[in-house]
Amino acid sequence: MLVQTLVRVSPVARLSALIVGTLVVALPAVLAVTQASKAQSAPAAAAKRTMLVTGANRGLGLEFAKQYQAAGWNVIATAREPEKATELKALGVRVEALDVANAKSVAALAERLKDQPIDLLINNAGVGSIDAKKAQDIDLAAYEHVFQVNALGPVRVTQALLPNLRAGKGKQVASISSQLGSIAGNTHGNYYAYRESKAALVMFMRSLAAELKSEGFVCIAMSPGWVKTDMGGPDAPLTPEQSITGMRKVFDGLKPDDSGKSWYYDGTELPW
């Protein structure tokens, strides 16, 4: 029809008709492609999840930041002294100052992160304790510090960031515990402060899981295995890469019924 009409009219009119005709045919296709690419990029941007990990300037925290960034997440990584966190800053993730044992530092972080939804919180920051073999050798000041960081730190941070977690879609909270925090697994004693602080942390996660279940949260304690870091030492069998890869897989597969449990990095459940 278009061809028959063009034969009967002048060359200028034919050219104009061709341009208009081409536009009529091509425009919907161009619009469809544009809309399709918009439709692809909108969910991609919306799907970008945000995680926050504490104690990320070295060890397991640094590896968490690396792997989640590589997986396309928005990463907020905390360090006590961000200016010295060279390796972490080089990743290009958002670095925030945080001392989990300091209530003011935690409140200041929550203020800076106001209105920032968080899908996954990993309470990773922790300290080891001197191997006290006998109760009478326990240094109570050192004991208290271990508690302030390992047991109360995750409580402070979770409490302060609960509005952010409620605003997020992921609704996952994981606290890095330890096999040494397992009551059933304690057949040798030692490490008084560390064991007790991690057992307290596991109990906090259990209570949190019960409280937040109706809101769709999954809250777990996660043992990373024995890993080569400053804390784990050079004889540890696992590398941070192996441990974090395993833990991320566990986080990815968590279902509502998994909440409140204590997990090992390889996906097995740890006894209390």
Ligand X SMILES: NC(=O)c1ccc[n+]([C@@H]2O[C@H](COP(=O)([O-])OP(=O)(O)OC[C@H]3O[C@@H](n4cnc5c(N)ncnc54)[C@H](OP(=O)(O)O)[C@@H]3O)[C@@H](O)[C@H]2O)c1
Which residues are known catalytic residues? 177, 194, 198
Task: Give the one residue of 126, 168, 170, 246 binding ligand X; rule: CB under 6 A.
Answer: 126
Minimum distance between the CB of residue 246 and ligand X, rounded to whole angstroms?
13
DSSP letters of 167-213?
Answer: HSSS-EEEEE--GGG-STT-SS---HHHHHHHHHHHHHHHHHHHHHG
Site for ligand X in 162-201 (CB under 6 A): 176, 178
The C-alpha atoms of residue 272 and residue 264 are separated, in whole angstroms, by: 12
Q: Edge-to-edge, what's the strand order for the sheet holding 120-123?
A: 94-97, 74-79, 50-53, 120-123, 172-176, 218-223, 262-264
Which x/- pattern over 149-168 shows residues binding ligand X (rule: CB under 6 A)? Answer: x-------------------
- Smaller CB separation from ligand X, 21 or 185: 185
- Smaller CB separation from ligand X, 89 or 213: 89
Per rule CB under 6 A, count of chain residues that contact ligand X: 27
Site for ligand X in 228-257 (CB under 6 A): 229-232, 236
Strands 50-53 and 120-123: parallel
* Interface residues toward ligand X, by CB under 6 A: 54-55, 57-61, 80, 98-101, 124-127, 149, 176, 178, 224, 226-227, 229-232, 236
